[in-house]
Chains A and B, each alone.
Chain A
Amino acid sequence: MHLAYPAVLAVLLFCVGLYGVLARRNAILVLMSVELMLNAVNLNLVAFDVWLRDTLHAGQALTLFTITIAAAEIGIGLSIVLLVHRNRGTADVDKLTDLTDTGTEPGFDSGSASMAPTTDNSVESATDQALPAGGQTA
């Protein structure tokens, strides 16, 4: 088999994942795109391992390790997304702007302004908003 076929497929999959990471708004869709990028790397590793006929089979071993690390990463990532959704009422990555440099002095105004876009979703998110305040005072 021509080695260019798996290599080009891996490149295109990686760039599709790159587009998804940059363009998606929902954090879980961003995680899906990260999975696509990791899979492109895995395909490259397997193709080069089969090409080189390595006696250590480093490519396939690293593919197995990458799959394992990806499983751990998706577990931790999803639990972080769930935590953010529980505290903020949204999982959209471009609404999490607490660390934005607004150009003003850090104070009460910038804090409330950054929290304002998260409160326009629904009644349920309003109840979710009330949770961290209670948690912080307790």
Chain B
Amino acid sequence: MNLAVASHPGFLSPTGVEITFVLVGLITLGAALVTVTTKQLVHAALWLVVALGGLAVEYLLLTAEFIAWVQVLIYVGSVVVLLLFGLMMTKAPIGRSPDADSDNRWTALAVAVLAAATLVWVVVDAFRSTWVSLGGAAQGSTEVTGEFLFRQWVLPFEALSVLLLAALVGAIVLSRRDSRER
């Protein structure tokens, strides 16, 4: 890490990757803000697509390619579709719904702003002079991911597949209409 600090030109001369990261980060943050503030429920789910897609681009910029595509597949592909189906099946109103936010939104805003201020202060103070060196081979290409996942992380991986199966069965059991009760 000291090598990375020494070879970096400095904070005031950002590289192209940093500029791209900040621009995509601004888009992601704006989409996330619209997601939590919009009055239209379906638009919130669609802005969530923009936020999660922006995060996939950030993963690509951090050279974690496999996680970027997993993000696109799982989050943008299936989680948002699930959320849209959930909105549809709970008869969410199309158009502006005035009671999308609850009454304690100012308390929530105060808590969020306080947490953001504290955490940004701590994080910036802690990592002021830390640089990530993005050169060399990609840190998260599919080959590297396959090697570390199936050499070192096989047991958690298999445990997670059991957890996914349990979640699948649980979701089916929970959402099924029992015909005997009719």
**CA separation between A60 and B138, bound complex, in Å?**
13
Expressed in whole angstroms, the minimum distance between the Cβ of B113 and any Cβ of chain A is 8
- Beta-carbon contacts under 8 Å, A84-99 to B: 85, 91-94
**CA separation between A6 and B164, bound complex, in Å?**
29
- Beta-carbon contacts under 8 Å, B21-51 to A: 21-22, 25, 28-29, 32-33, 35-36, 41, 44-45, 48, 51
Using an 8 Å CB-CB cutoff, how does the interface string of B133-173 with A read, 1 for contact, 0 for none?
01000011000110011001100110010011001101100
Are B51 and A15 neighbours in the complex by a CB distance under 8 Å? no
Are B181 and A135 neighbours in the complex by a CB distance under 8 Å? yes
Q: Is the interface of B mostly helix, strand, loop or mixed?
A: helix
Are B111 and A76 neighbours in the complex by a CB distance under 8 Å? no
Chain B positions within 8 Å of A94 at CB level: 102-103
Chain A positions within 8 Å of B175 at CB level: 79, 82-83
A22/B140 contact (C-beta < 8 A), A32-B48, A56-B148 known = no
Are B130 and A26 neighbours in the complex by a CB distance under 8 Å? no
Are A11 and B116 neighbours in the complex by a CB distance under 8 Å? yes
Are A9 and B132 neighbours in the complex by a CB distance under 8 Å? no
Q: Does A29 belong to the interface (CB within 8 Å)?
A: yes
A74/B82 contact (C-beta < 8 A), A19-B109, A24-B101, A135-B181 known = yes
Chain A positions within 8 Å of B168 at CB level: 75
Using an 8 Å CB-CB cutoff, how does the interface string of A38-51 with B read, 1 for contact, 0 for none?
01001100110111
The segment from A62-70, A102-110, A111-119 that touches chain B is A62-70
Using an 8 Å CB-CB cutoff, how does the interface string of B61-89 with A read, 1 for contact, 0 for none?
11110110011001100110011011101
Are B104 and A72 neighbours in the complex by a CB distance under 8 Å? no
**CA separation between A76 and B164, bound complex, in Å?**
10
Kindly identify which residue among A14, A61, A76 contacts B156, using a CB–CB cutoff of 8 Å: A61
A3/B127 contact (C-beta < 8 A), A9-B28, A19-B112, A85-B90 known = yes
Complex A-B, nearest 7 residue pairs according to Cβ-Cβ distance, in ascending order: A22-B108, A20-B36, A72-B167, A19-B112, A15-B116, A23-B108, A23-B105
Residues of B within 8 A of A (CB): 1, 11, 14-15, 17-18, 21-22, 25, 28-29, 32-33, 35-36, 41, 44-45, 48, 51-52, 55, 58-59, 61-64, 66-67, 70-71, 74-75, 78-79, 82-83, 85-87, 89-92, 99-105, 107-109, 111-113, 115-116, 119-120, 123-124, 127-128, 130-132, 134, 139-140, 144-145, 148-149, 152-153, 156-157, 160, 163-164, 167-168, 170-171, 174-175, 178, 180-181
23 contacts between A and B (CB under 8 A): A1-B21, A2-B127, A5-B22, A5-B25, A6-B62, A6-B132, A7-B127, A13-B51, A16-B32, A18-B112, A28-B87, A32-B45, A43-B55, A57-B152, A60-B66, A61-B153, A63-B67, A65-B157, A67-B75, A74-B82, A74-B83, A75-B82, A82-B175
